[in-house]
Structure formats: structure tokens, C-alpha cells
Homo-oligomer: A and B are copies of this chain.
Amino acid sequence: MTPDALEARLRQVGETRYHHLHPFHELLHAGTLNRGQVQAWALNRYYYQRGIPIKDATILSRMEDPALRRVWRQRIIDHDGSDDRRGGIEKWLALATGVGLDAAYVTSCRGILPATRFAVDAYVQLVRERPLLEAIASSLTELFSPGIISTRVRGMLAGYDFVTAETLAYFDARLDQAPRDAEFALDHVKRHARTSEQQAAVIDALETKCAILWTQLDALYFAYVAPRLPPPGAFRPDDLAPPDPAPVAPPR
């Protein structure tokens, strides 16, 4: 594949596998979830946000080129913040408390779904164990995030009276950061994935990353939307409806 054909193929992964297609997001953005369900989303995604700079520090630790590290370290700064600027994790915590969760409960990570933990930890493992090129490629989901962020902010502000623009401040900076990061990573991948094996591997890494995001929403949907069965020990919102009376009898 030419570099441009590879880019087209990577963008096709986003069109078919990115989590903008997941029904949990459709409900979230349509304003049809209740407060407990939005809380469950914010609580679980905190664990993802918390893992991002750990993931990026892992990638940084594997880069041997100082010029590459100089670019990549900005991701860690963006998420961890600095003395005069709140980072992404702090803003996500503000989002979680803004929708009514206790900050200490959120940062303890008690109550998150096990699937959230396994999926996010798999992301850190991927960038630790796979070749650096694949680790970089796994970040390319950010290519697809501007669209979903716009839809989400508009939909959540319109749909939930308990959500304010201040609550969603996390997403403002991401609208600039994500495309900047994604363009750099895409350019790197297009220049370095030259053999068909490397190209297949970076496509696979991006598909795996999409699965990591998708799995988190599957778990939220299963636990809090239908059939509403949070696993033992997981967060139970006050307004969780009782589970569906009986398991759906499947067709024989």
C-alpha cells in the first residue's frame, strides 16, 4: 500500500469500528440517559483518563529519539497539567463531580466495572509489549474524536439539566489537542509502516484500540441500560431501575 492508501484504510477502521457507532453513545448524546447512567459513564471513563498519561509515559520510555520524545511528552503535560493549567485528568474529575459523584469515590476507582479495568489495562499492555510503531498507531483513534466531541457536547448540554458547559470543559482543549496529536502520529505511521507486515500490524493495533473503547461501552450498556446488571461490587446509582424481570428467552 502507498502511504495514502494506508491512511485511507486506517480511516476506514474508524468509520466501521470507532465508538461513535456504539448504542450507549447514541443514548448519551440524545439526552435519554438518566443521571445515574451518566454518572456511571463519567466514573468508568475516569479510569481511562487516568491511564492515558501512564500509557504515554510507557510509549515515551520506549522512544530512543529525543526529537520524537520532545513531541510526545506534550501529551503527558496535557493530561497531567502544570502549576498554572489544569490537566485533562483534573478536568475529568470536575466532570464527574459536576454530574454528582464524590471526588474521593471517583479517584479510588472502587466501583468501576471490571471490564473497564481489563480494557484500559490492555491498552497499557499493548503499548508496553508491541513494537513502538504499533503503540503509536493505537493512538490514532484521536483522528476520529473531533466529530464525536462536537456531537457529545451539543447533545449533553441540550439533553441534561444537570450538565453545564463548565462541567464539560475537558472537551474544549481536546478539540485542539486531539487533531494535533493525531496528525503527528498519522504522519509517523505513514512514513514508517512500509512493509505489508508493518501495515497489517498498524491496522490491527488501531482495530484493537477501537475494541478497547467499544468494550468499555458494552460494559456500561450491559450494566446500566439493559439488562441493568452491574457486576458484584460495581457502582450502583440510586436511581438504577430493577433488572429486567427475566433473561430474554432467545429464539431456538
Contacts and interface: CB of A to CB of B under 8 A. Distances in A.
Given A27-B250, A247-B26, A226 B229 contact: no
A232 B210 contact: yes
Interface stretch (A2-10, A114-122, A137-145, A164-172): A114-122
Quick one: which of A33, A218, A239 has the most chain B CB within 10 A? Answer: A218
A248 B26 CA distance: 11
A231 B121 CA distance: 19
A156 interface: no
B241 A23 contact: no
Given A231-B215, A248-B226, A119 B115 contact: yes
A144 to B, nearest CB: 14
Nearest to A241: B251
A227 interface: yes
Interface residues of A, number: 47
B250 A16 contact: no
A248 B225 contact: yes
A152 interface: no
Interface string A215-251: 1001101111111010111000001010010011111
Contacts of A16: 232
Contacts of A119: 114-115, 118
A85 interface: no
Nearest to A23: B247
A222 B33 CA distance: 18
A45 to B, nearest CB: 16
B215 A247 contact: no
A27 B249 CA distance: 8
A252 interface: yes
A125 interface: yes
B222 A221 contact: yes
Nearest to A252: B34
Shortest Cβ-Cβ A-B pairs, 6 listed: A114-B211, A118-B118, A226-B248, A118-B122, A17-B232, A222-B222
Given A115-B119, A221-B227, 6 more contacts: A16-B232, A32-B252, A114-B119, A115-B215, A118-B121, A218-B229
7 contacts: A17-B233, A113-B215, A115-B218, A117-B122, A218-B218, A218-B231, A225-B248
